[in-house]
Structure 1
Amino acid sequence: MNNQNKVVIIGGGISGLSAGIYARLAGFDAEIYEKNSIPGGECIGWNREGYHIDNCIHWLTGTKKGTELYDVWKTVGAIADDTEFVGLDSFFTSCHNGKSITLWADLERTRREMLELSPEDADEINKFIDYVEYSKQCLIPAKKPMDMFGIGDYIAYGKSMGDFVKVMKELGSISLEDYSKRFKSELIRKMFCDYLPKQYTAYSLLVSYASIADGNGDIPMGASLQMSLRMEKRFKDLGGKIFYNKSVESVNVKGRKVSSMILSDGSRVSGDYFIATLDASILFNRLIDKKYMPKALKKAYEAPEAYPAVSGFQVAYTVDANFNPGETVFIDIAPIKAGATTIDRMYVKVYGYDPLFVKDGRQVMQTNLVQSDADYEYWKSLSAEEYKKAKEALVAAVTERIEAAFPEIVGELHFLDAWTPLTYERYCNAYHGSYMSFVTTTKGKPVRIKGDIKGIKNMCFAGQWNSAPGGLPIAVTNGKFAVQRLCRNKGYFEGKNNDERRTEGSQKESHTYDGVDALCGKRVS
């Protein structure tokens, strides 16, 4: 295939890999340029002292066969029909004053335990469980973007939402913190504000929990980096090219088109269409003029109270492989200042469920202190020496609090690594070190943008920043959607009959995501 049909993708994260794979399936040449030496963006992990530290997946939405998102994950090679999953029994456990409560995958078990804990909250508990059941109907559209929906698609989508409409009507405009106040039990109130930042809209937690309860939010065995590597293999097997350690320094816009981009080594890359899957703040503040930034995105960056970013100060240890307080357990701690925020709750997560995280009778254990925009500013203000000392002091404080909560492991914790919002900024160009998109709060309308760049005809952007709250499902679908829109809008296949289109494809696929016809949902002629 010649250069007239080349798609150049900036960024080799989940969205970039997805865009590359679907570009090849649609018959385009595709090249990915990635600043780091491995694929995956924030969906990665790394090794310390022979132990693997996972940076990303706590659960993967879209693991249930028969859902549109499952088909996307399968198409990009992230999972397969024979993929082994962890098989989560629970979402998380919250502890307070000697009592605990677990959000089990079995909703009726959760209902029973919550009612036993706080019978005075019976009405709200029953409604909560019912609403989680309704939230199973909230599935991410993944076959095609909603701007390509026809009337029939909208009707079908509306019907599929079913009773989830009731959840949105009641909980779509209140925060988790406000929702928690409906309950009399102090433990239940804390539980609702443990897993997600308390300013998140209340339905966000219910939808997340529903994924676990429905078997649609499991963890693939083999960690985050391995999933990204499977996607890289899929892209290469389709004939795509990926270039590592190739940071993009600038994009040349001439008239209303991108003519080329310049890499950090000074080399020039040309193409017909460009898909930017790097962090949107870098795209519009460094690579191209800020005047091209969509209004909705500009509004979000200018209103951090309504559109906050979320990151974390994270620590990884090894601990005895037999230590199992529960997969993810939130605990009370003596107040600790992390960045600009004082925190009195934290969690520990053990990784003994996967042999990849176990060695010599010990397993990896991690924790995360949630960090805000203000915390990012704190870390950013430090000198290199101050930064190092602050990290060391905070690690010592975190270790002390874990040991206070679990006396049986006093002296047994072995430190592996710690990372901050600046780590995400340094390696992933992440805005304020955020590993998600803007927090979905009640103060701002959720960001939903297609990724078109007004004033530039042959470039778009795709990734988790296109749709709050971001995450892997948003990243993988937006990579796909970018190519679908390209097929629809750019007339690439005009004048070619169906046989020619399939011949130009990288290879014929046996599944329903074959070529541009399936990508666009209709034939192009």
Structure 2
Amino acid sequence: MATDTTLRKETVDDWGSRERTPGTPPRVIVIGAGVAGLSTGCYAQMSGARTRIFEKHVLPGGCCTAWSRDGYLFDYCIEWLIGTAPGNDAHQVWRELGALDGKTVTNFELFNKVEDEHGRSVTFYNDPDRLEAHLLALSPADAPLIRAFTRDLRRFIDIELYPFLTAPALRTVRERAATLRTVLPAFRLFWRTAATPMHVFADKFQDPLLRRAFRNIFFQDPEGFPLLPYLFNMAAAHHLNAGFPQGGSLGLSRSVENRYLGLGGEVTYRARTEKILVENDRAIGIELRNGRRYFAEHIVSACDGRTTVHGLLDGRYTSPRIDKLYNDLIERPGTLFPAVVSAFVGLRGDFDPGEAHSTTHLLTDEDGRRLPGALQNSLVVQARSRYSDGFAPPGRSVLHCTYFSDYAYWKELRTRSRREYRGRKHEVADFVRTFLEHRHPGINDRIDLVDIASPATTHRYTGNHNGSILAWKAFSDADDVAARLVGKDRMRLPGLSGFSMAGQWVGMGGLIRAASTGRFAVQYLCRELGLEFRAWESEGTEPWHPGMLGELPQLDRWSAREDTGS
């Protein structure tokens, strides 16, 4: 089935021509080789189009990436991946994209551990029975709330709802009926848990640790999330459907890139798009920073949303919905998912085997003030070498320490003074070293290096507005607006044909959502181009190995051990 989608790809090179070669499939240009852009390319190739992806960076994946230093691999993005277990629609998407080809998946018995300043901790097990017993032992006085939470978790475990295969406006009567059969019996559960903010629920606990810990099940407090996403993701983890794929973030991106190239697609790296070319209110091509122009019958922007609307298209095609997203909500506090500071620690030997793979450490106000640009008094420490092989040289391991941070703080620093900017990075590294030594005496002598990535780093390499990794915050005011952009507007801009958008800036956060927007975008554009949407699972079987990551960059060429860059 796959052989007829690229028949003329090898012999036709008309990307520089306004008119495509007669008798050849329609051309589709994709801006951005993140997960959404690669997904768009894969599904368009499977559906019979000819595609070419243009990417500003030297690697695929966008934020779903990694970089290296001295034999260590610093995995940046995935903490859990929805769709790692067979038998659901999310898994089908990853199989179609080749994301899990030849890979093992690591699953953990707990979602996260939260420890306070005094060493008292709570472990959020994915098994509701074990979780309930643990919480009751910690705080018998909170039994009613504990049992209510675990009762809801059991109900979510019985629900399978992964609507990632068909674009909302194209769902058949059968598909809508199947969704209703799942949703209606649990409607009150969905409504209640979606309407109950986590902070309101958590504040009811008598135990002060539980009041703080429940907010940090997702490592740090996303602020504004209701109960529903916590229950949904813990239920997925219980089903082993929220695991960590071998190869990690860049491994996933490389696998999808390999799938795309195998389908006959083409990626051009170090190719920054400066504008989308428009003629008679139809997108006809793109112009790169070097002045070169490329043409196609359809353009898909899978990069930063504000850059697309107000940069590549000069703000010419908007609507009240677009203006609300990219003029109003994008600057409203709490609407974008926060940016993060990452401190990767290369360690000789293993991390403490008695520690959880992921722990949120609650900090005192004094310690919180010592973390540059911190938005919350907490630090997440993850033993990343337990997630997948190949993240550290033999006999060594990697820790990933993160905290939510203010992009404006780092941007202003870097703009005003590179020396001060690097100085703050040193402060982060020093804090992490001191903190780890306090918790694990003697560990400082085993630290090889500490590598820091700030929100300004994220912005520079991905273009994401304010350095946000997940774009719009789910369940914020942007959620309903973005949903209408995908469903009602079909991922298009008003008044502009031959163009659509994909990615987290239209489909909200999360890698499976990003991948699904690529599928949706192609389903919509197939109708415009007169193609039949087709998709099938990858047949790749080669076992994954670290060599598949390819050449790895050293982003800023900076670490706390050698201060030589920016």
Q: How far apart, in 1, do the equivalents of 2:516 and 2:94 lie? A: 9
1:457 to 474, 490, 497: 497
Which ranges in structure 2 are unaligned for 5 or more consecutive residues?
A: 1-7, 13-19, 540-566
CA distance in 1, matches of 2:501, 2:410: 25
Is this contact kept in 2: 1:144–1:481, CA < 8 A?
A: yes
Q: Comparing 415-424 with 372-381, which one deviates more in the overlay?
A: 372-381
User: What's 1:335 paired with?
Assistant: 368
Q: Which amino acid aligns with 1:94?
A: V
Instruction: Please give the secondary structure, in 2, of the residue aligned with 1:35.
Output: coil
Say whether 1:139 aligns with 2:139: no
Please tell me whether the aligned partners of residues 44 and 51 of structure 2 are also in contact (alpha carbons under 8 angstroms): yes
Q: How does 1:211-250 map to 2 (within 5 A)?
A: 211-250=236-275
Which of these residues, 338, 341, 356, is aligned with residue 313 of structure 1? Answer: 341
1:316-358 deviations in Å (ceiling 9; x for gaps): 0022314231100111332234454454221110022222123
Conserved 8 A contact 1:6-1:28:
yes
Q: What CA RMSD, in Å, does the superposition of the two structures yield over aligned residues?
A: 2.3
Deviations 1:371-390 (A, max 9, x none): 24654665566422221112
Where does residue 393 of structure 2 map in the other structure? 359
What is the CA-CA distance between 1:443 and the residue it aligns to?
A: 5.5
- Kept in 1: contact 2:96–2:537 (CA 8 A): no
Equivalent position SS for 1:101 = strand
Q: Report the 3-state secondary structure (helix = DSSP H, G, I; strand = E; otherwise coil) of the residue aligned with 1:308.
A: coil
For the 8 Å contact 2:36–2:302, the answer to whether it is kept is yes
Q: 1:138 to 1:176 in 2, by over 3 A?
A: farther
Task: Select the residue among 295, 298, 306 that pairs with 1:273.
Answer: 298
Offset of 1:413 from its aligned partner? 2.8
In structure 2, the CA distance between the partners of 1:443 and 1:252, relative to structure 1 (3 Å rule), is closer
| Bigger shift: residues 223-232 or 373-382 | 373-382
**What is the CA–CA distance in structure 2 between the aligned matches of 1:17 and 1:191, rounded to whole Å?**
37
Distance in 2 (CA, whole Å) between partners of 1:360 and 1:440 is 40
Letter in 1 for 2:505: W
Give the structure 2 partner of residue 95 of structure 1: 115
Q: 1:405 aligns with which of 403, 421, 439?
A: 439
Equivalences for 1:46-445 in 2 at 5 Å? 46-80=67-101, 83-96=103-116, 97-136=118-157, 137=159, 139-161=161-183, 164-194=186-216, 195=219, 196-301=221-326, 302-303=328-329, 304-305=332-333, 307-319=335-347, 320-324=349-353, 325-333=355-363, 334-341=367-374, 343-353=376-386, 354-372=388-406, 375=409, 378-379=412-413, 382-441=416-475, 445=479
Is the counterpart of residue 492 in structure 1 residue 512 in structure 2?
no
Q: Judging changes above 3 Å, is the alpha-carbon distance between structure 1 residues 163 and 365 closer, same or farther for their aligned structure 2 residues? A: farther
CA 1:187/1:453 → structure 2, altered by over 3 Å: closer, same or farther?
Answer: same
For residue 161 of structure 1, report the CA deviation from its aligned partner: 3.1
* C-alpha distance in structure 1 between counterparts of 2:522 and 2:66, whole Å: 28
Identity %: 24
Return the alpha-carbon distance in structure 2 between the equivalents of residues 180 and 258 of structure 1: 49
Q: 1:110 to 1:11 in 2, by over 3 A?
A: same
In the TM superposition, residue 90 of structure 1 has moved relative to its aligned partner by: 1.4
Q: Stretches of 4+ moved more than 6 A in 1?
A: none
Cα 1:164–1:391 shift into 2, 3 Å:
farther
Matched with 1:515 is: none
User: 8 Å contact 1:64–1:215 — kept in the other structure?
Assistant: yes
SS at structure 2 position matched to 1:417: strand
User: Is this contact kept in 2: 1:306–1:443, CA < 8 A?
Assistant: no
Q: Does the 8 Å CA contact 1:138/1:161 hold for their aligned counterparts?
A: no
For residue 30 of structure 1, the aligned residue among 39, 51, 55 is 51
Partner of 2:30: 9
1:255 deviates by: 1.3
Whether the 8 Å CA contact 2:343–2:428 is kept in 1: the answer is: no
Please give the alpha-carbon distance, in whole angstroms, between the structure 2 residues aligned to 1:226 and 1:45. 9
What is the alpha-carbon distance in structure 2 between the residues aligned to residue 509 and residue 344 of structure 1?
A: 46
User: Distance between the aligned counterparts of 1:445 and 1:76, measured in 2?
Assistant: 26
Cα pair 1:250 1:263 within 8 Å, conserved: yes
Ranges in structure 1 where 5+ consecutive residues have no aligned partner: 494-500, 513-525
